[in-house]
Amino acid sequence: MFHGSISPEIAERLQLLRKRIDAAKIPPSKLDETLNIATWNIREFGKKPRLKAAIHYIAEIIGQFDLVGLVELRDDLTDLNRVLAILGPYWDAVYSDAILDAGGNRERVCYIFDSRTVRFNGMACEASPPRTKRGKEYLSEYSWWRAPYVASFKSGNYDFLAFTTHVRWGDSDEARLNEIQGLANWVKAKAAEKNAEDRDIIVMGDFNIPSRQDPMFAAITSGGLQLPKALVNDEFGTNLARDKRYDQILHLPRFADNFTNSGGVLDFYASDHKPLFPDLDKTAFTYQLSDHLPLWIQINTDIDGMLLEQIIQRKSR
């Protein structure tokens, strides 16, 4: 971390933030063995310049992980580059184009990652609903307000696709439910493709799903996506009040044992924003850090034993 020349006040508050980070009990990742992945909705990141303190706090939080799927990154990348400069030269980012209409909200999806532990594998795309031929044109029957962003990564021997999205809020639960169902169908079809880049897909982002009992959660899991065991409990709310699981990390369980028993929420808020921003009210605080907390999981990337076991099982059939 390259915090550089900062005031004593920012340094003192960074130390307090580090104590809140320690409370999340995020285990360190091990090269070629484990990978820490997080998803984080950073509220309107790039719409207006953040305070210097906020940029340092955001970098400190992101630096706890190896790969972070960011949503609500805006078209202006100035603050993203400020964060990358603090994280250091081995950190990189790959991101989608901004969608400039009202539905797209000028948002991008971004993967920011530590290249010492995970590398970009070359494929990146925006996911689009399936098309059918109508006359001479190929058109989709429905749309996603903000296109999910998919990218391929490799850590150790583990290749995977990351799929990150920010589902509409809108004025209709039915429309949001239909969008989520379409996303689940896309992931299922992608994993079944004959020439799929990889069948290990990590799905994450802000789905605006209030709870696991909601029909929207049933929709996103209808194609086989599951919560990692470490995130099954309802205690992992990702809003500041910790009572809504709007954000999700899910997977198709090809190697269920990949996902360790480590996962949770990094609560930088801790029910009191004043120690970090003494001069701001709570609403202003959310526009400096966020109104969402990062959700994280640790993945076992040393899969040699699992691959060998699959070979042995094929022999015995």
The pLDDT assigned to 37 comes to 98
- Cβ atoms within 10 Å, residue 22: 10
**Contact predicate 61/296, CB 8 Å:** no
Q: Judging by DSSP bridges, how do beta strands 67-74 and 107-114 pair with one another? A: antiparallel
Mean local confidence (pLDDT), 193-197: 84
Residue 236 has pLDDT above 50, yes or no: yes
> 233: number of CA atoms within 13 Å, CB side?
9
> What is the value of pTM for the model shown?
0.93
Q: Is 62 exposed, middle or buried (0-12, 13-18, 19+ CB in 10 A)?
A: buried
Which percentage of the chain shows pLDDT scores above 90? 82
Place 157 in a pLDDT band, splitting at 50, 70 and 90. confident
Question: Which residues, listed in sequence order, are joined to residue 110 by a DSSP beta bridge?
Answer: 70, 95
Angstrom distance (rounded) from CA 201 to CA 188 = 10
Residue 254 has pLDDT above 80, yes or no: no
More reliable by pLDDT, 141 or 269:
269
Angstrom distance (rounded) from CA 196 to CA 204 = 19
Residue 152 has pLDDT above 60, yes or no: yes
**Contact predicate 95/73, CB 8 Å:** yes
Predicted confidence (pLDDT) per residue in 50-87, tens digit = 999 999 999 999 999 999 999 999 999 999 999 999 99
Predicted confidence (pLDDT) per residue in 258-301, tens digit = 788 899 999 999 999 999 999 999 999 999 999 999 999 999 99
Mean local confidence (pLDDT), 140-147: 92
Average pLDDT, the chain: 92
Radius of gyration of the chain (CA): 20
More reliable by pLDDT, 253 or 133:
133
> 170: number of CA atoms within 13 Å, CB side?
20
AA identity, residue 160: F
Q: Is 173 exposed, middle or buried (0-12, 13-18, 19+ CB in 10 A)?
A: middle
The pLDDT assigned to 308 comes to 46
Question: Which residues, listed in sequence order, are joined to residue 249 by a DSSP beta bridge?
Answer: 204
Angstrom distance (rounded) from CA 275 to CA 12 = 10
Q: Which domains does the chain have, with CATH numbers?
A: 8-315 (3.60.10.10)
Q: Which of 195, 259, 197, 174 is nearest to 225 (CA)?
A: 259
Mean local confidence (pLDDT), 41-57: 98
The pLDDT assigned to 210 comes to 86
